[in-house]
Amino acid sequence: MPVITEHGARTLPSVDVDSYNLEIRDEDGFVGDRASHGAFKAIIDEWREPLRKLGDDPLGDQPTKEVSKKELDAILAEGAPEAGGLIHSAIEAFAKELEHVIRRFLKTASWRDTEAIVIGGGFRQSRVGELAIGRTGVLLKSGGTNIELELISNHPDEAGLIGCAHLMPAWTLEGFDGLMAVDIGGTNIRAGVVETNLKKSSKLDKAGVWKSELWRHGDEKTKRDEAVDRLIDMLKDLIKAAGKSKLNLAPVIGIGCPGLIREDGSIETGAQNLPGNWESKTFNLPNCIIDAIPEIGKHETAVAMHNDAVVQGLSELPRMREYDRWGVLTIGTGLGNARFTTRRKKS
């Protein structure tokens, strides 16, 4: 099988990956769990509980887990003052938790001297999330930590696909219009065609998602092999669509997946939110895909897989090159994380 880069590589074309999937524990468990989307909903519940006891819950009888990001944003913007105040209280409490998590990361050797952190994940795609992240930045700076918190610029749903282009050595993409990309999450699997637009810019800052498909596996009781088969079908459909539109695809597939990725493409740990056992030593997703899709165009298929937070962070490379040491946190089902050092060409 052709190999373009090792899976979970620590040295990528434009950055060194200093750390990813870092798991810090304290007496309450994993520190990162305090700053997930679920943690934010739990904080809202904590604020609602005493109000419920008084029969005065401004959100009524609706369970917090069923309140969407759009509904929270609407309450914040135009809801009753007390309901808006409840959401503001949750934002403040969550920002303090996120500040604590970031400070714990910055104390580790691999995150030391971080100059900026990109915040991605689904939580970022809401006004409530933006305000919580903005408040966290204020808390960090007022506490003497001079670090920039940047909101991920691409839509989080697309960032995990666009970043796959940065996994690839430049020569694998030259002469082609795009590549296949996969973003595997705790509730969703997304596959897409990333159009590189290299003629407009060789730095991939014009790359975008041409077409994608989404499957919410979290809504179904799905086994691992069924999930893989569904993903392969999505990839085949997209390859066929690209062919019909005369889009010349590079024979490479990039994958972002939760967990610590071994060099051979198996997953060591961190895939507990995926359907079935993805951490089995006998399971190898890149090999499964190559077996099912041995060629793209007239060339043998090559696959590069890395951690999903790493890939989402890579989507920001064109914007983050000004920093020497920077990281990414993805706030979703869990808290994904990665820290990078930008590689500079020697003059």
The CATH number of whichever domain residue 109 belongs to comes to: 3.30.420
- Do both 131 and 172 map to the same domain? no
Contact 119, 133 (CB under 8 A): yes
Digitized pLDDT (tens) for each residue of the chain, 347 residues in all: 556 778 999 999 999 999 999 988 887 777 888 898 889 999 999 999 999 888 888 888 899 989 999 999 999 999 999 999 999 999 999 999 999 999 999 999 999 999 999 999 988 889 999 999 999 999 999 999 999 999 999 988 899 999 999 999 999 999 999 999 999 988 889 999 999 999 888 888 899 999 999 998 877 888 999 999 999 999 999 999 999 999 999 999 999 999 999 999 999 998 888 888 999 989 999 999 999 999 999 899 999 999 999 999 999 999 999 999 999 999 987 889 999 999 987 65
Q: How many domains does the chain have?
A: 2
Whether 318 and 188 map to the same domain: the answer is: yes
Phi, psi of 276 (to 5 degrees): 85, -170
**Measured distance CA(81)–CA(87) in Å, rounded:** 10
Same domain membership, residue 240 and residue 135: no
- Structure tokens that stand for 321 in this block: 């090159």
Whether 98 and 240 share a structural domain:
no
Last residue of a domain, one of 116, 151, 186: 151
Q: Same domain for 212 and 298?
A: yes
Answer yes or no: do 163 and 270 share one domain: yes
Write the CA distances from 239 to 180, 215, 245, 255, integer angstroms. 8, 17, 10, 15
End position of a domain, from candidates 134, 151, 168: 151
| Distances in whole angstroms, Cα of residue 39 to Cα of each of 33, 137, 340 | 7, 19, 26
pLDDT given for residue 3 in this prediction: 60
Return the closest-CA partner of residue 317 out of 206, 185, 197: 206
Alpha helices (H) in the chain, listed in sequence order: 37-53, 69-78, 81-106, 127-142, 156-162, 224-244, 285-292, 308-314, 317-320
The answer to whether residues 101 and 219 belong to one domain is: no
CA gap 62, 57 in Å, rounded: 10
Q: Is residue 59 part of a domain?
A: yes
Query: Which pLDDT score, from 0 to 100, does residue 29 have?
Result: 75
Domain extent for 296: 155-338
Sign of CA dihedral 77, 218, 232, 181: positive
Q: Are 88 and 224 part of one and the same domain?
A: no
pLDDT number for residue 334:
83
Q: How far apart (Å, rounded) are the C-alpha atoms in residues 347 and 340?
A: 21
Q: What is the pLDDT of residue 189?
A: 93
Asked, for residue 323, whether it belongs to a domain, the answer is: yes
347 by Cβ neighbours in 10 Å (0-12 / 13-18 / 19+) ranks as: exposed
pLDDT at 163: 96
User: Are residues 102 and 159 both part of a single domain?
Assistant: no
Residue 264: which CATH number?
3.30.420.40
207 lies in the same domain as 274: yes
Query: Looking at the DSSP assignment, which residues form a beta bridge with residue 117?
Result: 149, 327
CA dist 82 → 65, 93, 129, 136, 147 (Å) = 20, 16, 19, 23, 33
Same-domain status, 313 and 166: yes
Pairing of strands 29-30, 25-26: antiparallel
Q: Are residues 239 and 307 in the same domain?
A: yes
Residue 9 lies inside a defined structural domain of this protein: no
**Residues 31, 24 contacting (CB under 8 angstroms):** yes
Residue 6 in any domain: the answer is no
pLDDT score for 28: 77
Q: Quick check: is 8 in a domain?
A: no
DSSP 123: G
What global pTM score does this model have?
0.92
* Per-residue pLDDT tens over the stretch 88-121: 999 999 999 999 999 999 999 999 999 999 999 9
